Amino acid sequence: MFSGFLKCSDCGANLNYKYTNDNPDNHYFSCRNKRANNGLCNKTHHIRVDAITDIVTKNLSNIVRFASQFEDEFVKIVMDEQYKQIVLQQRKNQSALNEVLAREKEVDLLYEKLFEEKILGNLTEERFKKLSYKYEDEQTALRQKVKHLKDVVAEEKKHEMNADGFLQIVRQYTDIKELTPEILHEFIDKIVVHHREQVFGETVQKVEIYYKMIGYIELPQMSKSEKQSLALTFGRKEIDQSA
Ligand SMILES: [Zn+2]
């Protein structure tokens, strides 16, 4: 059921499913490019099916539990995270767009000049043709770039403030104990799997889960009493009971 969801953190390729013949219990995923040995990726990003199932189930059930218990707080966390991402990304996109627009203006001017030179008789027909093709090609490429960048900006706007959409799905699944393909499709956009590494003598493997509509989200680490106090302040159930 994870096919298509798992991505390599280094090369972005899908991780492919495999099981070893000598040990049929050992079901795992690993990077397609590394397996093909095509030089595009040099690490396996190997992860066992039982390990990834465990990680995703825990992460998802935590988020669903948190989101259904503390809807307002959850929306706030999502918005804060997205605000950071959006501001960063918008800055990047805007400067890329400005660059392209400036070059577009430049090329328009160069193109105009070319015609002037032609009229003045300073250019041979051949040279004129060659240059005008060059500018036309660049204009087409630039126009495509502008369109692409505008699409990117519009696409990001769509992702904005969609915590409510996510909550609507959460309300249908308040308690997730087992992962099913249906649940996976409903909630998850992609899962980025890093290669295992040694950190202070311990083997760690980073897995980033990107949810539909809210992206990557990190919940605050809270103790039981903190959760209880948060529940008293923001908890839906408490508010509903007193209402
Ligand atoms: Zn890879």
- Residue 192, pLDDT score: 95
Centre of ligand 1 to C-alpha 10, Å, is: 5
Centre of ligand 1 to C-alpha 203, Å, is: 19
- Residue 232, pLDDT score: 62
Centre of ligand 1 to C-alpha 30, Å, is: 8
Burial (Cβ within 10 Å: 0-12, 13-18, ≥19) of residue 82? buried
Centre of ligand 1 to C-alpha 199, Å, is: 21
d(CA 113, CA 101): 19
The percent of residues in the chain predicted with pLDDT above 70, rounded, is 88
Whether pLDDT at 211 is above 50? yes
Q: What is the pLDDT of residues 134-185, one digit of tens each?
A: 999 999 999 998 898 888 777 766 655 578 888 888 888 877 888 999 999 9
Centre of ligand 1 to C-alpha 213, Å, is: 25
- Residue 136, pLDDT score: 92
- Residue 161, pLDDT score: 56
Centre of ligand 1 to C-alpha 32, Å, is: 7
Centre of ligand 1 to C-alpha 6, Å, is: 11
Residues 161/82, Cβ–Cβ less than 8 Å: yes
Centre of ligand 1 to C-alpha 168, Å, is: 35
Residues 178/195, Cβ–Cβ less than 8 Å: no
Considering the chain, what is the average pLDDT of its residues? 85
Centre of ligand 1 to C-alpha 237, Å, is: 45
**What angle do the packed helices 163-170 and 71-119 form, to 10 degrees?**
140
Centre of ligand 1 to C-alpha 5, Å, is: 14
- Residue 54, pLDDT score: 92
Confidence class for position 239, pLDDT limits 50, 70, 90? very low
Q: What is the pLDDT of residues 32-70, one digit of tens each?
A: 999 999 989 999 999 999 999 999 999 999 999 888 888
| pLDDT, mean of residues 211-231 | 74
3-state secondary structure of 8: strand
Ordered alpha helix ranges (H), the chain: 32-36, 49-69, 71-119, 125-159, 163-170, 181-187, 224-234, 236-242
The reply to whether the predicted model has a pTM over 0.85 is no
